[in-house]
Amino acid sequence: MKRTSHMNLHLTQNQMRTSAGRLIARSYNRLFFRKTVELNRFDWEADGYDYGHMVKSALFAPEPMSVFVPVSSAASRSFSGILFDNQSERDSDDRTGLRGQGFQKAQSYSILPDLMASGTFRTFTLVRHPVSRFLSAVRDQIYLRNSTPLRSALGKFFKRDATDDFSVGEILTYVENTPSHMVEEHVAPQWSLNGAGRIPFAYVAKAERLQSDVIRLCEMGLIKADVVSTRGAPNKLGGSHLAEELTTPVLVRLQSAYRRDYELFHYT
């Protein structure tokens, strides 16, 4: 019995020492990050990023020089799915390695910044042209499946069965009349998923120029990738069979609903 008690006490002391070390590391990371922000915040804020808020909301890891910041789970999945060539035999290993190098998907956009992508300023995300992204979401979440998160959200919003047919116009009505942070993430404005626009432009990869951006992110040390996909970028109007539904009035509504995405990420 005494041996057991001694072992339990020993474990507790080890845990305390570990906790103390982690606390010191977090404090150091926070201090370093704050100093970095102070040096760059005026330039960053000139680009439209609220780094004052980021300092308050960011979480800090115990690993050396690691900072946690928001990345949407949809962007995480898209990036890991597009980054590596699906034909590669090492595909699954590469994806695991990617996450191990500062790339973790958040489980839900609604609880950011509690769940973060981590790394030594390995803060990056993937954005896509608003029209292409919207149509792909409609295709994948509505046309091809009867049970999806987007269908569930639309069913609750319109008080209808989630398996009903939902038109492009109805989906836009849902986006237009729901607070940005509460919109289902597949059709939510990208700025609201990407830390409310607090990720520097240099750390944003565009799907339309994915290969060159991946190389740039690797050179910056934000990610490490041995195999880069040779697949082309998505069609500008991914889900082309839906593009015919984009009459001028509907397109105007879409551009209005995602206006900040167009402005922040310089889409036309």
Comparing 57 with 190, which gets the higher pLDDT? Answer: 190
Give Cα separations from 137 to 6, 80, 150, 240 (angstroms).
57, 17, 9, 12
Q: What pLDDT is attached to residue 69?
A: 41
Residue 3 banded pLDDT, cuts 50, 70, 90? very low
- Top mean pLDDT of 20-24, 183-187, 244-248 is at 183-187
Q: Is the pLDDT of residue 154 over 80?
A: yes
Q: Is the pLDDT of residue 236 over 60?
A: no
pTM exceeding the 0.75 threshold for the entire prediction: no
Residue 41 banded pLDDT, cuts 50, 70, 90? low
Q: What pLDDT is attached to residue 127?
A: 80
Comparing 252 with 191, which gets the higher pLDDT? Answer: 252
Q: What pLDDT is attached to residue 173?
A: 97
Q: What pLDDT is attached to residue 192?
A: 74
Give Cα separations from 168 to 41, 67, 137, 145, 248 (angstroms).
40, 39, 11, 15, 13
Q: What pLDDT is attached to residue 221?
A: 60
Instruction: Report the alpha-carbon angle 37-105-147, nearest 5.
Output: 140
Q: What pLDDT is attached to residue 54?
A: 54
